[in-house]
Amino acid sequence: MTCENSRSSSVRKRRLRITDDAAGFQELLQFLGEHGDGPDALIPIAIETSRGLLVACLRACGRKVYAINPMAVARYRDRHTVSRKKSDHQDAVVLANILRTDAELHRALPGDSELVRAIAVPARAQQDAVWDRTRAHNRLRSHLREYYPAILQAFADKREHLLCREARAILAVAPTTAQASLLSRSRLRTVIRAAGRQRRLDIEAARLFEVFQRTWLRQPPLVETAMGRQTLALLAQLDAACRACEDLARDTEELFLQHPDAEIIMSFPGLGVLTGARMLAEIGDDRTRFAQAGDLKAYAGSAPVTRESGKSRRVIHRRIKNSRLAATGRHWAFAALTASPGAHAHYNRRREAGDGYHSALRNLFNRMIGQLHHCLATRQTYDESAAFALRAKDTLATAA
């Protein structure tokens, strides 16, 4: 890491390169202390990342740390040179000048509590595990379509498809069409029972037996066997992703329920323990971070962007955003449609006004995240009658 002190626009006091370890951190503190750093006047730090041990230790000192987007640093670099040359030394000077001239235009890392930062770790990991699970499921399903249509047909009506435990259990004992056709009703009953099914075992076993006994298109025997082995490898990846989702969800929920904001967040329709934890992990509990609801809406990507030049004016949805928060917001808005009459009526009005499905959901999320900002700032739980002023015809339409 290269450090530059640039308190003066014309004088560079010292140049220092440190290592990303305890010795380097001590050297950095000594360097800052030699140039006016103290308990009453901590020198702020600009850096191109918000993660890592060095950033964590700097934040623990109580000083302001600005994580400047590398794209923004590149734009500032062009102010001083157009030759497109780049070096760590030059970037350090640019970062120092950003704080010296435009610190008020950039946002320091929030002062979230240790509990919120702990919640963010498993919450984000669980969200990544869900995305990994989806990719693993799609890869397995695409592979099975090439040689094993019976298993796809057997679980086509299930909400989770191949993600359900019974499907994975059957694939583990019968990864090919030939092996599935040899399974008896009693064997199928044993397999689905071991997978966790408790009701209608005989009926389900008979249904699966009938599907597997049908005539299906087949690959040549050797090819089918080889593809079955590949299926077992893909199934192992899917099983690992499913276990990670479940374990991380349990850890996330346990931490989230310890936070004082959990009661307020979970009072909102459509927000469960896990989705509420994801919201808190991205929003944080530093209430000075988003002074207005509009700031949070822009951060979540729900607020539109206006591009105006001369007589041209376009209002489009925001693409630069917190992708994790935006993804959670879509799930929240969708769940709120059945949990809140006011949310359902608002969504219907947006559709009647010409919005598409995704646009109407984004508009609903935009409104509800503003309500969440208000409730967190005022320390009150959600109130349906205050959040949505339902008109009589909307109430009748929702009830119908």
C-alpha torsion angle, residues 93, 98, 101, 104 (rounded to 10): -160
pLDDT range class, residue 3, cuts 50, 70, 90: low
* Pairwise pLDDT comparison (338 vs 43), residue with the higher score: 338
Long-range (24+ apart) CB contacts under 8 A made by 356-362 are 358/330, 359/317, 361/330, 361/333, 361/334, 362/302, 362/317, 362/329, 362/330, 362/333
Give the closest residue to 64 by CA, choosing from 111, 7, 134, 15. 111
SS3 49: coil
pLDDT at 105 (0 to 100): 81
pLDDT at 55 (0 to 100): 86
pLDDT range class, residue 390, cuts 50, 70, 90: low
Q: 284-319: per-residue pLDDT in tens?
A: 999 888 989 999 999 999 988 888 888 888 888 888
pLDDT at 4 (0 to 100): 60
Read off the pLDDT of each residue in 106-129 and give the average, rounded to a whole number: 92
Q: 168-220: per-residue pLDDT in tens?
A: 999 999 999 999 999 999 999 999 999 999 999 999 999 999 999 999 999 99
Q: 346-377: per-residue pLDDT in tens?
A: 999 999 999 999 999 999 999 999 999 999 99
Res. 262: pLDDT tops 60:
yes
> Which pTM value belongs to this model?
0.82
pLDDT at 7 (0 to 100): 47
pLDDT range class, residue 396, cuts 50, 70, 90: very low
